[in-house]
Amino acid sequence: MNAKPLQDAALIGADALGRLMPMYLWITPTGLIRAVGPTLVKLCGSAPLVGDRFLDRFQVDRPRGLYSMADVQALAGQRIHLSLRSGPGTSLRGQTQPLGGGQGWLLNLSFGISVAEAVRDHRLTNADFAPTDLTVELLFLTEVKAAVMGELAALNARLKRAHDEAEARALTDALTGLANRRALDAELARDCALAARGGAPFALMHLDLDFFKTVNDTFGHAAGDAVLVEAARRLRGQTRAGDTVARVGGDEFVLILRGEADADTAAEVAARIIGELERPIPFDGRPCRISASVGVALSGRSPAPGRMQAEADAATYAAKRGGRGRCVVG
């Protein structure tokens, strides 16, 4: 293992060396650039490297603090990062090895991770890379990855849109566009949990349309549907943006009035809603008349969905029995 350094020294011409290592530099013992690979020639464009001082043309970025050729020589075999002092500052990496016979050093360079910009900046082609170099494969992969990622991002956007639409459909009553039973149950559960933890109180209002069956039987289902749509519109008009209005059955609606803690004001709101629903709804030039029986439950001290729904149901039943078109607060 004590082979003499120059025992098997290979002689190779600068041109052949350039084909093997298109980005090599031959640096003389005095630090002058003696020969350069063809790709490096292309990189330097109109300012030939040969004859110039290596450290005048290249800046060593890592390790820092290299100012003399002796410093560079000490790093033989290690990876060093450099950049060209002229042009777009293309970053390079390489390693030096001493040449035999006092011929100086050989420095082989390649592009760092920003190879794509270097290729674009210097208009490099396949021919500028050694056949063993995987740079072209790296560029291929970069391009293909961008295409695949773009495709996946578009797919994700389509799936997200489909998901949102499906979710909206799953939570909406198709006829009136109001929330449906599922959406109401979820919101009521959330409001109860919030109220139980000291959040805002609210009122749960259960509302049965009165005389709806009569409208249906007299004017037909189309009239019935029109009445439901108009009733939904009026209910929304009588509530605030933060409230929930849901259609939970044929002619049954449930409202969550947020921030409402007082039995009297809840009853006032109910009276206003009933008055609004009693205004005749025209269909085919004829007035359809309905009213509503309303039962209210307040979140109060025990905000629980089951308790509140049962209470609102019972109150509605009491309102119906009491002669319709009225409100009972449970």
Partner 1 sequence: MHGLVNRSLQSFLRDTYGAPLWDQVAEASGAPAEGFEAMFSYDDGLTDRLLDSAVGMLAKPRDALLEDLGMFLVSLEPLRRLLRFSGVNYVDFLHSLDELPERARLAVAEIGLPELALVPREGEGFLVEVGPGHPGFVPVFAGILRAMADDYGAFAVVDIADPRAAPNTIRVDLLEPQFASGRRFDLGRPEVR
Residues annotated catalytic, as ranges? 251
Q: Which is nearer to partner 1, 120 or 279 (CB)?
A: 120
Q: Which is nearer to partner 1, 50 or 152 (CB)?
A: 152
- Supply the minimum distance, in Å, between the C-beta of residue 87 and partner 1: 15
Out of 32, 75, 76, 116, the only residue in the binding site for partner 1 (CB under 8 A) is 116
Out of 19, 62, 85, 120, the only residue in the binding site for partner 1 (CB under 8 A) is 120
CA distance linking residue 312 with residue 304, whole number of Å: 12
End-to-end CA distance of the chain: 99
Query: Residue 207: which residues within 8 A CB-CB, separation 6 or more?
Result: 235, 252, 253, 254, 255, 273, 292, 293, 294, 295, 316
- Supply the minimum distance, in Å, between the C-beta of residue 154 and partner 1: 9
Q: Which is nearer to partner 1, 78 or 126 (CB)?
A: 126
Q: Which two tokens stand for residue 84?
A: 């060209």
Q: Which is nearer to partner 1, 147 or 193 (CB)?
A: 147
Out of 3, 127, 174, 241, the only residue in the binding site for partner 1 (CB under 8 A) is 127
Out of 64, 123, 197, 301, the only residue in the binding site for partner 1 (CB under 8 A) is 123
Restricting to residues 129-148, name those near partner 1 by CB under 8 A: 136-137, 139-141, 143-145, 147-148
φ/ψ (deg, to 5) at 38: -65, -35
Q: Does 15 sit near partner 1 (CB under 8 A)?
A: no
3-state secondary structure at position 102: coil
Beta strands (DSSP E) in the chain are: 24-27, 33-36, 58-62, 80-84, 91-98, 105-111, 202-210, 244-247, 252-258, 281-283, 286-288, 291-298, 327-329
> What is the torsional sign of CA 132, 134, 139, 140?
positive
Out of 30, 97, 114, 125, the only residue in the binding site for partner 1 (CB under 8 A) is 125
Restricting to residues 149-178, name those near partner 1 by CB under 8 A: 151-152, 155, 158
Give residues in contact with partner 1 (CB under 8 A): 116-117, 119-121, 123-127, 136-137, 139-141, 143-145, 147-148, 151-152, 155, 158
